[in-house]
A and B are shown apart, each in its own frame.
Chain A
Amino acid sequence: MSELEIKDLRVSIEDKQILKGVNLKLRQGEVHAIMGPNGTGKSTLAYTLMGHPSYIINSGEVKFKGRNLLDLSTDERSRLGLFLAFQYPVSIPGVTVANFLRTAVNARRKANNPEDKGIAVPEFRKLLKEKMEMLKMDSSFAGRYLNEGFSGGEKKRAEVLQMAMLEPEIAILDETDSGLDIDALRIVSEGVNLLRSQNIGVLLITHYQRMLNYVKPDVVHIMMGGTIVESGGAELALHLEEHGYDWVREKYEPGFVSAA
């Protein structure tokens, strides 16, 4: 049973303290939503867990499958079973979705067995076709350059496709719902639910309740000022939807006065 455990994580970027002691425990099979206003450190948490070089760890610990995650390189974290669906995926000109995914799949196989010759092309094609059908993606998508000229919705769908292909144990979805219309949101959510049924753990970073209508969270956390200030069940997200964040600010930001 994989488990991601974050203990008192403090992170800064360019000398600015962003995370001020984050604690969280996510088990495989669970969905945790992290909600909170802009600029509270949600994406910093996501990038830090994946090992982006711009973020400096000041203190704290992250355990994943018994390893200290923060000691591992980004690619090792991925191969260990961690996945990040990017809020703003970059494009890789000249590299097709299929070529990219095959290279990623082969990197995993090669890490397990240096003698591995890579996945056979027909086997790979079959697997990719299957996952693309699940996400209702047109087969021509595989031949397009990765994220190059993709619409917002296509980018998010491509992230979920990657997740489906790489079969992580813990996935962080960084605002995967933003920029999706209602149909795309449903398809992407169905994809996430399918993976969840295969016992994936999900850390779902979002601003809105709407994706949580499709992907029911076990736990909802509210992040503010670089820490998790409230945690509760699915009803906490509904409460936020109705009342906004002002009540949280009043409670945790000294001197905050509600405009209402």
Chain B
Amino acid sequence: MTESTLVITRSRTQTIEVGDFQFSPDFSEPANFLLAYRMKAWEIFKKLPFPSETDEAWKRTSIKELRFEKFRLLDPSSKVETNIPESLTKPLADDIHGGQILLSPGRATITLDSDLAALGVIFTDLEHAQKEYPEFLAKAVEKTSSEAEDKFTALARALGTCGILLYIPKGVKVEKPLHTLFWAFGEGLVHASKIFVYLEEDASVTYVHESSSPNNLDGQSIHTGIMEVYAGPGSKLNFVELQSFGSNIWNFTHERVSVDRDAEVDWIFGALGSHVTKNFSDLNLIGQGSSGKMSGFYFTNQDQHLDHDTQQNHLAPNTTSDLLFKGALLGKSRSVWQGMIYVAPNADKTNGYQANRNLVLSEKARADSIPGLEILTDDVRCTHGATVGKIDIEQVFYLESRGMPRKTAEKLIVEGFFDPIMQRIPFNGVRNRFQSAIEEKMNGY
């Protein structure tokens, strides 16, 4: 099979005056594949400017308040904090795990059912992957990587070896969900994570990944991450991502899921935490007959700022994408959703849907919703819609007239608002997490 071209160019970056980091990563280990990959990314990082508000994609999310000069990298000899809350280690997609990795910078605790290991499933952190499965790691990285197109992607690639390799061989159906948790910690640190997922032909798996950190820290920390996923021909991937970082985290992530011929991806996002998030999520339908569903849930409060930039790229004929993102906002928080459906000239008989709905619950909160279509062929069906609304006082009055205090009434309306997203999530554990997030945020205002 020949490589498909996946490069959808976002607007070019321009130089602006922001600070720079005062650190350099450690590349002193013996030569290996991952090291070469990281060193190359560091060279790119050094050449690229920081994104600025003159870039279309960064217009609504500023990094000016980052105190660049204060950040440092975690000293490898320092004590690693691993008191991960037990509640985060429970299964989310089912009652049991097929495997779990608790990942902190400098440490990984890995479990995998022996029957899955016997079938050739690789589920490990990047350090072990480099040592034990270098050829599979190289295959996964080469399949999914393109030139780093922005500063933070390059940084995520360059820094450290914290990350995951999940590799499912041909025809293997993994019944029990696999779960990884990335736990960041500390103040004034830059954390990076790299996640590589590769499904061979006709493989299937449910993979849950959560990014989290303590919520009681003050000093800024950065997380920059990449997620590179390839779903081979005829494969099926259920992919659940939760972001529950603490309120000191500036989170910059770039995720790319490539879906080959007749493969199916069901991709669920839940964004609850972080101070600032700028996320790029690209669904690349590269093979004929492939399909992808993207379901997003976000709920911001206080001074949170979450910016999700989604791209549904139809690069082959007979492909289907269906995106629904729903968000509620409290306090003086802000959300941005900017979405694009791109249909390549050869991608006939494409169905593309996107919708973004926002419920603004406070006077000072603000939601921006920017849908987009770029269609370069005729035989397609694409729809998009974007709404930003408030709670209707007539609805509140109606519920109050049935004896519900105002807060209960508003909470019920918010739950109803999110119901269409809940309906798209086949996992009780995930729905419960979203439900308790609604509860917690609605109780706290």
Contacts and interface: CB of A to CB of B under 8 A. Distances in A.
Which of B395, B398, B400, B401 has most chain A Cβ within 10 Å? B401
Interface in B397-445: 397-406, 408-409, 412-413, 415-420
A85 B295 CA distance: 37
Interface string A59-79: 000000000000001110111
Contact of A90 (B395, B403, B404): B395
Given A89-B398, A93-B417, A75 B406 contact: yes
B401 A103 contact: no
A150 interface: no
A144 interface: no
A78 B400 contact: yes
Given A75-B409, A93-B419, A107-B408, 9 more contacts: A51-B400, A53-B393, A73-B405, A73-B406, A75-B402, A78-B401, A92-B413, A95-B412, A100-B399
Contacts of A94: 415-420
Contact of B404 (A84, A89, A93, A107): A107
Contact of A107 (B392, B405, B413, B420): B405
Contacts of B417: 93-94
Given A90-B392, A90-B394, A50 B408 contact: no
A174 to B, nearest CB: 11
Given A103-B408, A145-B416, A79 B395 contact: no
A194 interface: no
A86 interface: yes
Interface string B336-357: 0000000000000000000000
Contacts of A79: 403
A77 to B, nearest CB: 8
A176 interface: no
Given A52-B397, A53-B393, A53-B397, A75 B403 contact: yes
Interface residues of B, number: 24
Contacts, number: 79
Nearest to B395: A90
A95 B394 contact: no
A90 B394 CA distance: 7
A86 B394 CA distance: 11
Nearest to B392: A90
A149 B399 CA distance: 18
14 contacts: A50-B397, A51-B401, A75-B405, A75-B406, A78-B403, A79-B403, A90-B395, A92-B399, A92-B413, A93-B417, A100-B402, A107-B403, A108-B403, A166-B403
B416 A111 contact: no
Contacts of A240: none
Interface string A208-252: 000000000000000000000000000000000000000000000
A57 interface: no
A120 to B, nearest CB: 19
Contacts of A78: 400-403
A74 B400 contact: yes
Nearest to A111: B403
Contacts of A52: 397
A166 B404 CA distance: 12
A86 B412 contact: no
A84 B401 contact: yes
Nearest to B398: A90
A162 interface: yes
Contacts of B405: 73, 75, 107, 111
Best-buried of B395, B398, B405, B408 by chain A (most CB within 10 Å): B398
A97 to B, nearest CB: 12
A162 B402 contact: yes
Contact of A74 (B392, B394, B397, B418): B397
A179 B400 CA distance: 25
Nearest to A52: B397
B412 A103 contact: yes
A104 interface: yes
A181 to B, nearest CB: 25
A145 B415 CA distance: 12
B298 to A, nearest CB: 17
A149 to B, nearest CB: 14
Contact of B413 (A73, A83, A86, A95): A95
A83 B405 CA distance: 15
A133 B257 CA distance: 51
Contacts of B394: 90
A85 to B, nearest CB: 10
B168 to A, nearest CB: 36
B398 A104 contact: no
Contacts of B397: 50, 52-53, 74
Contacts of A86: 398, 401
Nearest to A91: B395
